[in-house]
Structure 1
Amino acid sequence: MQRLSAANIVSFINQLDKSITYNYIDARNKGLIEIINADLPEGPIRIKRWNPSKGESSVGKKIEPISSELIWRIANAFIPDQPINFDRVLAGSYNTRSVLEALLAYTPQFHFAYPGRIETNGGKAVIKQGHKHLIWTPDEPHTAGKIKEIKTQVVISELPAQEATYDALVLSSEPTIEPMIDIAIKRRHAQIQIALYFIGKQLNFRTWIAQNDKGIMYQNKKIGEFEGVISRLQDEKLLTAYQDAAKAALLIDCIWFKNGKLMPAVMEVEHSTGVTSGLTRMKKFKDLFIGLEDLRYVIVASDEDRAKVIKEANHPQFRDLNIRFFPYSAVEELYSLCQRRKIKGVTESFLDCYMEPVLVDQN
């Protein structure tokens, strides 16, 4: 399936004529938008906006950024020929979301549409006129600099989309050899580790959680005490003959094991410390562990860190890891799927749908 990246979106908008102004999709909004510049490859995009009907002009208007984070969140929401509602995807956040929506509509690969929406009244489903959506139509481009409505037979349910949710967690008070980091950042790191554990549990994997993170409290219990969490890595069947490798892996954030014979993924969650530390830990482990070939070595990081992951993973000393990128959005999509559908019976190759290979061919 084709997927969009932030770099795609920034490139599309950067190709629009910067000498003209652009209207919003909704004709009731009399504002104008001017593209100032775009930082390639992944933003931000800088714009000015003003409303002539209110006596405003571009003179004196501040330059505003459309952030890389916003661009990545929208990029990850698009599937070819499927409408998305910007406000729903972004939960009403980001004050430049309508600007990004409008500018995308002027690029050739995006149309706007008003799909029907299902309302339930008294137990009876009724299809009514829907709200404005944007559709990515890579196979049906239109003229650049124009906006074009497309008719669609898609009907949108008014039920809220399933989101990944986490119960309350308490961070470990046990000493750690790593530097102190911001509490909000460390909490996000812990949430992702918890999501990885539950994904692994649903796929019938046993999970190693980094030795210094086992004290995280979740659902009134230390995560190290959860069913299927490995207590001693050195005793794991695959590693009994590789004790030096087991010791090297003690601080790796998450490792999945299956049936005592397979290791579906070795993962480092990089939220604040940079990518190199995780790559170095996995590289040391790989050099000491020769029991299995073609393991998945994975960097789990926020979507906007994709370029950084690609850059670091392609350094000569790390290329033999053949790193895969598992963005937070994909983690939470898979976690949500496990929560809702209780998937089972899939092979570990199912993970390849969510993990992007990032090794760049140098030939």
Structure 2
Amino acid sequence: MIETIDRLPKNRVYNYVSLQTKGVIKIVEVRRPGGPIRFKRWNPDKGENESGAKIENISGEMIWRIANAVAENEPFNFDRILGGSYNTRSVLEALMAHTPEFYYCYPGRIMDINDHVTVENGHKHLMWKPEEPHAYGEMHRVETDVAISEVPSMSVRYDTLEVPNSMVEGMTIEVARRHTQIQIALYLIGLQLGFRTWIAQNDKGIKYQDVPLIEHEGIVKSLDGENMVAPYEGAANAGLLIDCIWFKNGRFMPAVMEVEHTTGVKSGLMRMLNFSRKLPRFDDTRYVIVAPDDDRDKVIRYANEDSFRELDARYFAYSAVEELYAICQRRHLHGITQEFLDCYMEKVVND
């Protein structure tokens, strides 16, 4: 997707897909392989021009979220995928629509009210049709018989949390609380998937639902008793400060995870690297940086440094954590394989 957008001429302007959205777009730069895309936009009807327009970015994280939602010949809607986030989403939509394999369409919308079902005019969507490319730099509408029944968006609820003072050192209470919420989400996801969870030694003071986290079901109290860790000299000690480790049946360690913010990505990779070097190479273990969506580019950059490449680290965006957590809250998942996790944990190390 990045490559095809990069092939669009840079010496012209592009219109938005929606006629109601006034203004034009001009590409400044496309950074391969994962973005960002830099552009300018302005509205001539308001007397604006290119020279007065600022350069803005379409983040690599947003591009990745859209790319992972695209399926051949299936309509997709930017607002639904992104939850209304990102004020540059209409720009990416427009640029994609000007590439040969993407069309715009208006699938029907199923309305089911008081047992009365109708199909009404739907919202704007894009559709990927790789077998029917059109010319570069043009937008084409495609008719479709597809009708969409929209599922209500999911929200995430966090029960009462008490963050110990020791966690607040070096960060604001808001950041510490967010870090803890994500740890709790990872624990509860693991619990539903049948995993037992290790939480970092220095986070054991967390209280969840007014009960110390260490006393909750499925929490590993000591790494010294874990079959995947205990036999290897120095491994238990190296894992003490790892934010979250999942264990399964005493025979698998599906994920080793560090929950980090911008300043902690590199230190998180270092802790996981040190831990991994105390252990044999387990084929089914993923080393994962869990970080805010805006930190994706930083995670990719650090994970690809020579000193960390052996980890083959994954990226688990906060939004992906909460999407999976929301599903776990609404549904009792069972029969899930470990490979299911790969749908949410992005592989970021270049081959």
TM interval, shorter chain, is 0.7 to 0.9
Structure 1 residues 303, 21: CA separation in 2 closer, same or farther (over 3 Å shift)? same
2:218 to 228, 244, 264: 228
Residue 52 of structure 2 aligns with which residue? 61
The secondary structure found in structure 1 opposite 2:323 is: helix
Instruction: Please give the secondary structure, in 1, of the residue aligned with 2:288.
Output: strand
Q: Could you say which residue in structure 1 is the equivalent of 2:343?
A: 353
| Alpha carbons 2:253, 2:284 under 8 Å: kept | no
**Partner AA of 1:46 in structure 2:** F
Instruction: Provide the residue aligned with 2:124 in structure 1.
Output: 132
CA contact (8 A) 1:76 1:329 kept: no
What do you get for the CA RMSD once the two structures are aligned? 2.8
Equivalence for 2:166: 175
- DSSP-derived class of the 1:288 partner: coil
- Secondary structure at 2:71's aligned position in 1? coil
Q: Pick from 299, 315, 337: which aligns with 2:289?
A: 299
The verdict on how the C-alpha distance between 1:333 and 1:61 changes in structure 2, with shifts beyond 3 A counting, is: same
Instruction: Give the partner amino acid of 2:257.
Output: M
Greater CA deviation, 34-43 or 197-206?
Answer: 34-43
Q: How many residues align?
A: 349
Give the 4+ runs in structure 1 shifted more than 6 A: none
**Aligned in 2, Cα 1:31/1:346: closer, same or farther, shift over 3 Å?**
closer
CA contact (8 A) 2:255 2:285 kept: yes
Query: 1:13–1:103: 8 Å Cα contact kept in structure 2?
Result: yes
Secondary structure of residue in 2 paired with 1:344: coil
How many angstroms does 1:262 deviate by? Answer: 1.8
The answer to whether the Cα contact below 8 Å between 2:110 and 2:120 also exists between their aligned partners in 1 is yes
CA displacement 1:9-37 (0-9 Å, x = unmatched)? 4x433322222222222334443333334
Match of 1:18 in 2: 10
Match for 1:35 among 10, 20, 27?
27
Residue 189 of structure 1 pairs with residue 179 of structure 2: yes
Q: Tell me, yes or no, if the aligned pair for 1:66 and 1:100 is still in contact at 8 Å.
A: no
Give deviations 1:32-54, integer Å, cap 9, x for gaps: 333334455412422121143x5
The TM-score with structure 1 as length reference comes to 0.84
Uncovered stretches (5+) of structure 1, i.e. residues with no partner: 1-7
Q: SS at 2:141's partner residue?
A: coil
Please name the residue that 1:315 is paired with. Answer: 305
Question: What percentage of residue pairs aligned between the two structures are identical?
Answer: 50
SS at match of 2:277: helix
**SS of structure 1 residue aligned to 2:324:** helix
Question: Please, which moves more after superposition, 239-248 or 118-127?
Answer: 239-248
- Secondary structure, counterpart of 1:112 in structure 2: strand
For the Cα contact (< 8 Å) 1:50–1:61, is it kept in 2?
A: no
Give the aligned partner of residue 210 of structure 1. 200
Aligned counterpart for 2:157 among listed residues 142, 159, 166? 166
Relative distance call for 1:291 and 1:67 in structure 2 (3 A) is closer
| TM-score normalised per structure 2 | 0.86
Do the aligned partners of residues 122 and 28 (structure 1) sit closer, same or farther apart at CA in structure 2, a change above 3 Å counting? same
CA distance in 1, matches of 2:203, 2:72: 39
Alpha-carbon contact 2:163-2:205 (below 8 Å) kept: yes
Deviations 1:302-344 (A, max 9, x none): 4454443343334343333332333334333332333333221
Asked if residue 102 in structure 1 is aligned to residue 94 in structure 2, the reply is: yes
Cross-structure match for 1:78: 70
Structure 2 unaligned regions, length at least 5: none
What's the secondary structure of 1:263's corresponding residue? Answer: strand
Kindly indicate whether the alpha-carbon contact (under 8 Å) linking 1:253 and 1:267 is maintained by their aligned counterparts in 2: yes
Q: Which amino acid aligns with 1:263?
A: M
Say which SS state the counterpart of residue 257 (structure 2) adopts. strand
- CA shift for structure 1 position 132: 0.8
Greater shift, 28-37 or 251-260, is seen at 28-37
Give me the whole-angstrom Cα distance separating, in 2, the residues matched to 1:139 and 1:189: 45
Matched, 1:47 2:47: no
